[in-house]
């Protein structure tokens, strides 16, 4: 009887062992999506770039538009497949930069690691609303991004090391001529120019009540006030003097010396107008928030923005160089089709 029990236990143990071996074989087979230069692109790394690509594709779209997007084709290819391929290409470039950084003996310092830790703490704090526990935030993080916080940290550290190489390459080895600088600035000056302006805003919305739209009559009245005010300025009255006439009007607001530039937290219509204007120009810009009388006080020039222009041109040249490196057969991808096919975009 004892021998029979031992035999049963031995068989059960073998079954458990077989299941464990099978699990680890499966887990290893699906833990990476490709091999590049002898190193794996892990599933976590791929999901990181897949999430980024999805965000880019879905940005500024309604839920209806997003649903339509993922049921559409781009140049004859399913949108989901395009995103997966883009994510794979980005993961490949991430690895190439990491290889280059390691070849040059670059490394992250204590400040780099501290900065990464702080950024992760801030992100988790935002996820939890600074009220939930870190454990709860980490759980939500994994649900949203598909990877754990530790996996994210490892990817970000490697990304920063690759970025350190990219920055070094752009600063030390990529040449940018004066002609290239001026040509790029001429074609893209609106991306670099910063304007300083005074803005007199006649509201279309009730700021005190959650930005609810005023009535048609109130909006029409605001527009007439704005048109009357700009006429006075164009007739020679000082901007500040005209603004002072509305000092007690709660539906009108004056902001002085506002910095206006691409990407600033200000309505795009104002940015578009200001960066294409001259010092002293006054305009009336109709936006979602209201009627804005804008007077340009100062504008930066090419010389002011030279370093930024150089950085942008160098970065564009570097991207082309990175594309050339990616064509090197040594960086050809050995795809793990089984793992890739199991990953869904939605």
What would the two tokens of residue 187 be? 């074609």
What mean pLDDT value characterizes the chain? 90
Q: What is the DSSP letter of 189?
A: G
Rounded alpha-carbon distances, angstroms, from residue 87 to 215, 231, 278, 334: 47, 54, 43, 15
pLDDT band at 2 (very low <50, low <70, confident <90, very high): very low
Q: Tell me the per-residue pLDDT of 28-78, one tens digit each, with 9 for 90 and over.
A: 456 899 999 999 999 999 999 999 999 999 988 889 989 899 999 999 999
pLDDT band at 26 (very low <50, low <70, confident <90, very high): very low
Residues 6+ apart with CB under 8 A from 264: 271
On the CB side of 82, how many CA atoms lie within 13 Å of its CA? 14
- In 38-128, which ranges are E strands? 39-42, 73-74, 77-78
For residue 131, the model assigns a pLDDT of: 63
pTM of the full structure: 0.77
**Domains assigned to the chain:** 31-175+315-342 (1.10.4030), 193-299 (3.10.50.40)
Burial class (CB in 10 A: 0-12, 13-18, 19+), 328: exposed
How is the beta sheet containing 32-36 ordered, strand by strand?
A: 39-42, 32-36, 333-335
For residue 3, the model assigns a pLDDT of: 52
Q: What is the largest CA-CA distance in the chain?
A: 111
What would the two tokens of residue 306 be? 């030279």
According to DSSP, the residues that pair with 292 across neighbouring strands are: 201, 285
């Amino acid at each position: 009887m004892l021998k029979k029990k031992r035999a049963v236990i031995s068989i059960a143990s073998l079954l458990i062992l077989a299941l464990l071996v099978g699990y680890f074989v499966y887990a290893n087979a699906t833990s990476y999506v490709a091999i590049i230069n002898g190193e794996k692109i892990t599933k976590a790394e791929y999901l990181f770039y897949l999430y980024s690509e999805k965000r880019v594709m879905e940005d500024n779209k309604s839920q209806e538009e997003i649903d339509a997007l993922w049921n559409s084709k781009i140049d004859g290819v399913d949108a989901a497949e395009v995103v997966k391929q883009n994510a794979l290409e980005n993961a490949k470039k991430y690895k190439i930069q990491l290889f280059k950084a390691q070849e040059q003996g670059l490394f992250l310092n204590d400040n780099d690691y501290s900065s990464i830790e702080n950024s992760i703490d801030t992100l988790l704090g935002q996820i939890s609303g600074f009220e939930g526990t870190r454990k709860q935030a980490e759980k939500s993080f994994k649900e949203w991004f598909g990877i754990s916080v530790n996996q994210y940290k490892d990817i970000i550290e490697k990304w920063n090391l690759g970025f350190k190489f990219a920055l070094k390459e752009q600063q030390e080895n990529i040449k940018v001529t004066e002609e290239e600088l001026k040509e790029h600035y001429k074609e893209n000056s609106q991306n670099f120019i910063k304007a300083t302006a005074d803005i007199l805003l006649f509201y279309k919305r009730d700021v005190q009540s959650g930005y609810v739209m005023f009535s048609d009559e109130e909006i029409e009245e605001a527009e007439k006030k704005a048109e009357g005010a700009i006429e006075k300025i164009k007739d020679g009255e000082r901007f500040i003097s005209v603004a002072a006439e509305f000092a007690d009007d709660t539906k009108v607001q004056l902001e002085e010396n506002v910095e206006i530039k691409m990407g600033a937290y200000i309505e795009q219509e104002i940015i578009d107008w200001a960066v294409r204007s001259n010092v002293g120009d006054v305009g009336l810009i109709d936006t979602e928030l209201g009627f804005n009388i804008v007077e340009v006080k100062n504008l930066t020039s090419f010389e002011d923005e030279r370093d930024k222009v150089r950085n942008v041109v160098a970065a564009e040249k570097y991207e082309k160089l990175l594309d050339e490196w990616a064509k090197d057969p040594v960086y050809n991808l050995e795809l793990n089709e089984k793992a890739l096919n199991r990953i869904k975009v939605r």
